[in-house]
């Protein structure tokens, strides 16, 4: 979020007051963690390795043309943006209008909220999850990724210039929503279960008599409100026979008690394993119709958290022979 303000006429007293305002703005500014690295600068067409979003007749006091144009004299002053994957200058799909132009070339510019001009210069992303914010600020583009260009006046009928030409700044920000989620192994097994000892699942399916990682999951997001990682699925079942899920209380099962459970540990990032899966014992509170929260993060820190998942089972002596199976479905849901 960005507060747009338009300063009134300044005098000496107001400059002092303005300093107070800026200070208060910084204190009161809601946390907006910017992960994208959009950067725009004035350069030449030949040197631009990114995306040209606006072409200018000069570095200041200039007319503008759309990036689709090729007027030779404009090649020496182009607004070149880069730093974000999937960046473009399309005015369709996911885009923001940087400025409106009075024509496709040799044009004056106005703010995107005006309706005097019919040509749009745009900043776009191929990813729907990228949130593009365009703003018009005086002095600087604090709170945005970058200063795209500047205008001789606001809100319309302005000459254009490079980012430093005028105090009326065209600012841009791209917040690229990011969420990655991986599961290291889709098949694990205990081997033969025992009524006289605990058995732990392993990735090779043979099981182990000592606790070990069955598989791991990673989650990484920049979602402002973090994520939750859930598990859903039945306990181990063979026809009408089941190995009882431990339930919602962390417990180290006693051998021979017919129990199935999981636990997890977390490393890296701000994610944390949720109760009842975080203690040294095991639990399993998911069902075929109910998801159980395994882990969560209250904020997305863009750092990978790795969850090491361990699973335990033991059977009672009378549990009928058979192949016991289940499918656990893990879901990572970010909140943006």
Partner 1 sequence: MTIHSVQTNKIVTQLIFTVFVFVYTFGFSFVSFVQAASLTNLSDALNTQSASTSANHTLVFTTPTGVASGGTIILTFSSSATAPTIHSSLTYTDIDVLDDGVDLTLASTPSGATAGVVRTSATVITFTNGSSPITAGSVVTFKIGTNATNQSTGVFGITSGTAGTLYVSITGSFGDTGVMSVPILSNSAVAVSATVDETLSFSVSDATIFFGNLSSSFACFAQGSDPGDTTCPTTSEAEAFSMAAHTNSPTGYTLTVQGATLTSGLNTITALPANTNSSAGSEQFGMRLTQSGGSGAVTAPYAASGYAYTATSSTSAQVASATVATTTDTYSVRYITNISSSTEAGSYSTTQTFVATANF
Q: Is 29 in the site for partner 1 (CB under 8 A)?
A: yes
In a 13 Å sphere around the CA of 96, the CA atoms on its Cβ side amount to 18
Q: Which is nearer to partner 1, 11 or 49 (CB)?
A: 11
Q: Is 315 in the site for partner 1 (CB under 8 A)?
A: yes
Q: Is 118 in the site for partner 1 (CB under 8 A)?
A: no
Q: How far is residue 182's CA from residue 330's CA, in Å, rounded to a whole number? A: 10
Q: Is 225 in the site for partner 1 (CB under 8 A)?
A: yes
Residues that contact partner 1, how many (by CB under 8 A): 74
Residues 51-90 that bind partner 1 (CB under 8 A): none
- DSSP element (H, E) containing 14: helix 12-28
Q: How far is residue 66's CA from residue 99's CA, in Å, rounded to a whole number? A: 10
Q: How far is residue 42's CA from residue 93's CA, in Å, rounded to a whole number? A: 26
Structure tokens at 235: 């306990």
Q: Is 327 in the site for partner 1 (CB under 8 A)?
A: yes
Q: Are 201 and 190 in contact (CB under 8 A)?
A: yes
Residues 194-223 that bind partner 1 (CB under 8 A): 195, 199, 201, 205, 207, 215, 223
**Site track for partner 1 across 271-310, x = CB under 8 A:** --------------------x-------------------
Q: Which is nearer to partner 1, 65 or 301 (CB)?
A: 301
Q: Which is nearer to partner 1, 146 or 222 (CB)?
A: 222
Q: Is 3 in the site for partner 1 (CB under 8 A)?
A: yes
Contacts of 37 (CB under 8 A, 6+ apart): 83, 84, 145
Residues 157-186 that bind partner 1 (CB under 8 A): 177-183, 185-186
Q: Is 24 in the site for partner 1 (CB under 8 A)?
A: yes
Structure tokens at 250: 């962390």
Running DSSP on this structure, what letter comes out for residue 74? G
Q: Which is nearer to partner 1, 83 or 224 (CB)?
A: 224
**Measuring CA to CA, how many Å separate 168 from each of 5, 105, 109?**
11, 21, 12
């Amino acid at each position: 979020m960005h507060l747009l303000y338009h300063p009134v006429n300044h005098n000496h007293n107001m400059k002092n007051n303005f300093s107070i305002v800026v200070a208060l703005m910084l204190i009161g500014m809601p946390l907006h963690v910017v992960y994208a690295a959009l950067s725009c600068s004035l350069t030449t067409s030949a040197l631009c390795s990114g995306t040209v979003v606006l072409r200018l007749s000069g570095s200041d006091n200039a007319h503008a043309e759309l990036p689709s144009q090729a007027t030779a004299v404009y090649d020496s002053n182009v607004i070149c943006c880069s730093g974000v994957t999937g960046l473009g200058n399309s005015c369709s799909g996911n885009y923001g209008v940087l400025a409106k132009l009075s024509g496709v070339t040799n044009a004056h510019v106005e703010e995107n909220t005006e309706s005097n001009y019919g040509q749009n210069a745009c900043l776009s992303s191929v990813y729907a999850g990228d949130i593009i914010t365009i703003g018009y600020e005086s002095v600087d583009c604090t709170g945005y990724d970058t200063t795209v260009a500047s205008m001789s006046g606001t809100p319309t009928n302005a000459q254009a210039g490079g980012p430093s030409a005028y105090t009326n700044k065209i600012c841009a920000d791209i917040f690229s929503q990011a969420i990655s989620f991986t599961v290291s192994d889709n098949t694990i097994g205990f081997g033969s279960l025992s009524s006289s000892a605990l058995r732990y699942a392993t990735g090779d399916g043979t099981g182990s008599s000592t606790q070990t990682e069955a598989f791991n999951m990673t989650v990484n997001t920049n979602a402002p409100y973090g994520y939750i990682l859930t598990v859903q699925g039945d306990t181990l079942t063979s026809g009408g026979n089941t190995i009882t899920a431990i339930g919602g209380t962390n417990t180290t099962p006693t051998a021979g008690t017919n129990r199935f459970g999981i636990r997890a540990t977390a490393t890296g990032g701000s994610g944390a394993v949720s109760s009842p899966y975080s203690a040294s014992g095991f639990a399993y509170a998911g069902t075929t119709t109910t998801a159980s929260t395994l882990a969560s993060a209250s904020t997305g820190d863009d750092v990978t958290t790795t969850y090491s998942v361990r699973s335990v089972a033991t059977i009672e002596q009378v549990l009928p022979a058979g192949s016991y199976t289940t499918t656990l479905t893990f879901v990572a849901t970010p909140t943006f």
